[in-house]
A and B are shown apart, each in its own frame.
Chain A
Amino acid sequence: MEHPGQTPRHLFFTGKGGVGKTSVATATAISLADRGRRVLLVSTDPASNLDEVLGVALGPSPTAIAAVPGLAALNIDPEAAAHAYRERIVAPYRGVLPAAALHSIEEQLSGACTVEIAAFDEFSKLLGDPAATADFDHVVFDTAPTGHTLRLLELPAAWTGFLTDNVGGASCLGPLAGLKAQQALYDAAQRTLTDPAQTRIVLVSRAEGAALREAARTAGELHALGVGDLSLVINGVFQARDPADPVAVALAQRGAQALAELPPELAGLPRSEVALLPFGLVGVPALRALFAGAGETTPDLPQGPTPPDMSPLDALMPELERRGHGVIMTMGKGGVGKTSVAVAIAVELARRGHRVHLTTTDPAAHVQEALGGPVAGIRISRIDPVAETRAYADEVMRTAGAPLDPAGRALLAEDLRSPCTEEIAVFQAFARVVDEGEAGFVVIDTAPTGHTLLLLDATEAYHREVERSKGQVPEAVRALLPRLRDPEATRVLLVTLPEATPVHEAAQLQKDLERAGIHPFAWVVNQCLTPLDVTDPVLAARRAREARYLGEIESLSTRMVLIPWSADR
Chain B
Amino acid sequence: MSVTIQVFDPAMCCATGVCGPSIDPELARISADLEWLRGQGVAVERFNLSQEPGAFAGAPLVQQALQARGVECLPLVLVDGRIVAEGTYPARETLAALAGIVVQKQAAPAAKPCCPPRAAGEPKCC
Write the residues of chain A forming the contact surface with B, with a CB cutoff of 8 angstroms.
Answer: 89-90, 92-93, 96-98, 100-102, 104-105, 107-109, 111, 113, 168-172, 174-175, 396, 399-405, 407-409, 411-412, 415-416, 418, 420-421, 423-424, 427-428, 462, 465-466, 469-474, 477
Contacts and interface: CB of A to CB of B under 8 A. Distances in A.
Contacts of A477: 21-22
B49 A171 contact: no
A555 to B, nearest CB: 38
Contacts of B39: 407
B35 A175 contact: no
Contacts of B35: 168, 407-408, 411
A424 B12 CA distance: 14
Contact of A472 (B22, B48, B50, B124): B22
Given A169-B15, A403-B25, A421-B18, 9 more contacts: A101-B70, A109-B11, A109-B50, A400-B23, A412-B31, A424-B18, A465-B21, A473-B21, A474-B22
B109 interface: no
20 contacts: A108-B12, A108-B50, A109-B50, A111-B19, A175-B48, A175-B51, A400-B16, A403-B25, A403-B122, A408-B29, A408-B32, A408-B35, A412-B28, A412-B32, A420-B19, A421-B18, A424-B21, A470-B24, A473-B22, A477-B22
B22 to A, nearest CB: 4
Contacts of B19: 111, 113, 172, 415, 418, 420-421, 423-424
Contacts of A113: 13, 19
B17 interface: yes
Interface of B: 10-26, 28-29, 31-33, 35-36, 39, 46, 48-54, 56-57, 63, 66-67, 70-71, 115, 117, 119-120, 122-126
Contacts of B54: 92-93
Contacts of B53: 89-90, 92-93, 97, 101-102, 105
Contact of A108 (B11, B16, B31, B124): B11
Given A412-B32, A424-B19, A471-B20, A170 B71 contact: no
A408 B31 contact: yes
Nearest to A406: B32
Contact of A98 (B13, B66, B126): B66
B16 A107 contact: no
A178 B120 CA distance: 32
B11 A401 contact: no
A418 B16 CA distance: 11
A405 B36 contact: yes
A399 B18 CA distance: 12
A421 B54 CA distance: 27
B4 to A, nearest CB: 14
A465 B20 contact: yes
Nearest to B13: A172
A405 B71 contact: no
A98 B67 contact: yes
A405 to B, nearest CB: 6
A408 to B, nearest CB: 2
